[in-house]
Amino acid sequence: MFEPEPTPPRHPTPPSGEADASPTEIAAADPGLTTDSVRIALRRVKDPDLNLNIVDLGLIYDIAVEGTDVKVDMSLTSPGCPSGPEIMGDAERQIKMIDGIGTATINLVWSPPWTPDRIEPRVRAYLGF
């Protein structure tokens, strides 16, 4: 009968000589902090005017994960967006809720300018674009 291979533990015991690794070093090796895990957290942030998440709206331009630190480049639908500070604050809060996170930096960028073409195609169809 076929027996599956045992699943390795998520946080294996460090090899000898690394037993004194700090929790930060262990967290940095944790594969749980990825651009995808950050993107999932950012899906919980909604534009209050459109009631749609900022990922599907195409407001997230770049996500960089370096160890336990995360940097996000994002834009808004317009430079005069009155909800901008609220959206950016929500994005930072959602990222900081991820286990093992170090710093979360949100950079507001305007290049390239946001257009409805950046909206996820299924959402764009839903909105009638």
pLDDT in tens, 11-47: 333 333 433 433 344 344 445 799 999 999 999 999 9
pLDDT at 98: 95
Does any domain span residue 37?
Answer: yes
Does any domain span residue 75?
Answer: yes
Does any domain span residue 7?
Answer: no
Q: Bridge partners of 66?
A: 69
pLDDT at 6 over 70: no
Residue 115 to residue 58: CA distance in whole angstroms: 9
Higher pLDDT, 9 or 112: 112
Tell me the average pLDDT across 77-100.
Answer: 95
Does any domain span residue 57?
Answer: yes
Does any domain span residue 84?
Answer: yes
Does any domain span residue 2?
Answer: no
Domain span at residue 32? Answer: 23-116
Could you give the number of structural domains in the chain?
A: 1
pLDDT at 69: 97
Higher pLDDT, 114 or 3: 114
CATH of the domain at 47: 3.30.300.130
Of the ranges 15-19, 40-44, 100-104, 107-111, which one carries the lowest mean pLDDT score? 15-19
Does any domain span residue 94?
Answer: yes
Q: Bridge partners of 106?
A: 72
Does any domain span residue 5?
Answer: no
61 band by pLDDT with thresholds 50, 70 and 90: very high
pTM: 0.74
